[in-house]
Amino acid sequence: MLQFTLFGFPIRIQWMFWVVGCLLVSGLLSSPDPRAIQLILVWLVVFFVSILWHELGHAFAMRRFGGHPEILLYGMGGVCSSVGRYTRVQSMIISAAGPAAGFLLALVACLPMLLLDYEISWKRIFSAHSFHSLTEFALLKLLFINIFWTLLNLLPILPLDGGQIFRDFMSKTNPAVVPKVGMITAGIVAVLSFTFLGSLFMALMFGYLAYQNYNMSKGQSFRMPF
């Protein structure tokens, strides 16, 4: 396991983080593009920077409220944990800080695209082949991760940030409804991911989240698959 410190935060990276990163773009290995290996390496850098930046958003918010956070990057993405207690509002702010950092990084990525006269459109962001240079590929993937993935992360599904915000919001009224909403939402996203996006990975991931939210509705804790 790789370990280092950044901005005073202890950071650990499990080997499965890199494996999943490679699996997400494994289709490039069969691509006729002679830059396939370079594209995979660029993707891994973008993947790493984006996930770490997101977790740093949480970490800085935790530190602001007196916590001592540490970051783990693993097969399911990243998690920022801390020894410390937070109020309901502080906890919601901490959960929202990661997505806010992602949107900020997406905004920053737009600036060089505009300066280099690269077209910015949803079709190009979602397309795996709509680019001309490694730089353009990197910037498009930065937008893809930090807009699309961030929006998915804001869905009311535990343990995603949106689910944690929803849990804190409902904590004084009806906390039992949170995993039930998460189970239904994750199930719908799993079906839509496979039916309309053809993404088996997303279908399996959200199917797993639906199963885990069902377990949490029965009083069980969330379990990481790896």
Domain edge (last residue) among 154, 180, 198: 154
- The pLDDT confidence band at residue 23, using thresholds 50, 70 and 90, is confident
Question: Mean pLDDT of all residues in the chain?
Answer: 90
Mean pLDDT of 57-86: 92
pLDDT at 84: 77
124 token code pair: 């190009």
Assign residue 119 a region: left if phi > 0, alpha if psi is -120 to 50, beta otherwise? beta
Give the Cα separation of 124 and 119 in Å (integer): 8
Strand partners, 180: none
Angle between helices 134-143 and 88-115 (to 10 degrees): 150
pLDDT at 198: 75
Q: pTM for this one? A: 0.91
Helix (H) or strand (E) holding 98: helix 88-115
Looking at per-residue confidence, does 81 or 25 come out higher? 81
Q: Which domain holds residue 178?
A: 155-226
Taking alpha carbons only, the member of 152, 163, 141 closest to residue 190 is 152
Helix (H) or strand (E) holding 152: helix 150-153
The count of structural domains within the chain is: 2
Give the Cα separation of 108 and 23 in Å (integer): 27
User: Do 164 and 122 lie in a common domain?
Assistant: no
pLDDT at 128: 61
- The pLDDT confidence band at residue 115, using thresholds 50, 70 and 90, is confident
Give pLDDT tens digits for 135-179.
Answer: 889 999 999 999 999 999 999 999 999 999 999 999 999 999 999
Strands 68-74 and 9-13, by their bridges, are: parallel
- The pLDDT confidence band at residue 182, using thresholds 50, 70 and 90, is very high
List all residues 6 or more positions away from 147 whose beta carbon is below 8 Å from its beta carbon. 102, 103, 106, 125
User: Do 174 and 137 lie in a common domain?
Assistant: no
User: Do 193 and 104 lie in a common domain?
Assistant: no
User: Do 68 and 15 lie in a common domain?
Assistant: yes
Domain edge (last residue) among 103, 124, 154: 154
pLDDT at 224: 60
Looking at per-residue confidence, does 199 or 21 come out higher? 21
Q: Does 79 score more than 90 pLDDT?
A: yes
User: Do 80 and 96 lie in a common domain?
Assistant: yes
pLDDT at 24: 86
Taking alpha carbons only, the member of 96, 51, 54 closest to residue 76 is 51
User: Do 31 and 109 lie in a common domain?
Assistant: yes
pLDDT above 70 covers what percent of the chain? Answer: 95
Instruction: Give the max Cα distance, the chain.
Output: 57
pLDDT at 27: 75
- DSSP, res 155: S
Domain edge (last residue) among 154, 183, 207: 154
